[in-house]
Copies of this chain bind each other. A is one copy, B any other.
Amino acid sequence: MVLDLGQIYNGPYCSLLLAHMGARVIKIEPPDGESMRQRLPGEEIPAFVLMNSHREGLALDLKDPDGHDIFMRLVAEADVVIENYAEGTMERLGIGYDALAAVNPRIIVGSGKGFDPEGPWAGRLAMDLTVQAMTAVMSVTGFPDMPPVKAGAQIADIMGGVTLAVGVLGALHQRSRTGEGQHVKVSMQDAVIPALASNIAGYLETGGTLPERTGNRQNGLAVAPYNVYPTSDGWVAIFCVSEPHWHKLLDVMGERDRFGGEEFATMPRRAARMDEIDAVVESWTKVRTVEEILEILDASRIPSAPLLHVSDLLESQWFRRDGGMLEHVPHPTLHDARAFGSPIRLSASERRAITRAPYIGEHTGLVLSGDLGLTDDEIADLRRRGVVK
């Protein structure tokens, strides 16, 4: 059993992965809902529905002594607690790791952090924007003659969440030998750093002489063609990893006369004349549609890819199928509700049929009666006093 105190994306994504693999997850929110619900109070939020399938919803006031007591009774039965509150919040609520381990030494607490609480950036507010700024992701993203720009995806939240799931499962594995739980911490900043492997290695190799940002060109500016080119109706990524790719591209573009010579015959020579090469590829792509270009390049087995939009993902029958990454989930109030599927395909496990994210407190009664044996009268009293919802 996993008790999920997660909010927004970081903690909830960790719990979602565990839930997809079969864990029972009780999502515990304050009576007015977790932060994500605050955006549109009283309404269902598409982002909340995306991230909170496979949860039982329990709304509980942890600041109330009776609410605290209910939480601790659940902890005594649980395997895992997931949280991504600001540093110090768990302790202020009297539910820090030590307090939980005192009632259940087997408990594993997974804490999603923004920055390492012991490091020099500990005090900074951790949101996706600030973590991207302080991991150098921003400094390496964008065009060299333009300002740095964030990755438009919430990579810090999600990389932190999935890495936390690795730590929690590692701790479960260890517990199967030692019988003891532990506190697992993963900061978003630490989780993002390994994605800078090429940037860091490039800096170490060259002493920082390469531009930090290379747009859509290869980080080391060592491969050409390698870019995203405009077409008459969108964008297409094209790159030539090997000599045969280059020669086939010259043939389909009809440019062997101008570009087939010795001055373009090796990758280093092409890389040195990247501007000319990008210009000729672009002159060929921009008068054709994405579909035409892909048909021609695929036929010649030249590496390429269309640039897809969010709308393309949502319209994809593959993604919206049962078990797809953006599965349609029937919802009473939202028109086209989607829920994140599992990116993990397990050959020996049945897929868990997707469930709608809970309404606030949807399963409060079931959990209090089923797990803790509370009577209907006791639950009604807790509700009346606002301890649960």
Contact = CB atoms under 8 A, between A and B. Distances in A.
Given A46-B204, A159-B159, A200-B314, A185 B154 contact: no
A148 interface: yes
A224 B124 CA distance: 19
A51 interface: yes
Contacts of A167: 21, 344-346
A237 interface: yes
Interface string A340-357: 110111111100000000
B154 A155 contact: no
Contacts of A135: 153, 308, 313
Interface in A233-272: 235, 237, 239
Contacts of A142: 142, 149, 152
Interface stretch (A63-71, A190-198, A364-372, A381-389): A190-198
Interface string A211-242: 01111101100000010101000010101000
Contacts of A73: none
In the complex this chain forms, how many copies of it are found?
Answer: 2
A141 B169 contact: no
B325 A197 contact: no
Interface string A100-115: 0000000000000000
Contacts of A235: 133, 138, 147-148
A3 interface: no
A147 B230 CA distance: 9
B194 A158 contact: yes
A311 B349 CA distance: 45
A359 interface: no
Interface string A142-180: 110011111111110111001111110111111010101
Interface string A307-327: 111111110101100000110
Nearest to A132: B237
Given A152-B199, A213-B152, A216-B149, A129 B346 contact: no
Given A130-B303, A138-B307, A152-B214, 15 more contacts: A46-B204, A47-B198, A50-B197, A130-B304, A133-B228, A146-B146, A149-B228, A154-B195, A154-B196, A154-B198, A164-B344, A190-B325, A193-B340, A196-B313, A204-B334
19 contacts: A129-B216, A129-B239, A129-B305, A130-B237, A133-B237, A142-B149, A142-B152, A149-B149, A157-B195, A173-B173, A174-B346, A178-B348, A180-B348, A183-B347, A184-B344, A187-B343, A199-B310, A200-B314, A212-B309
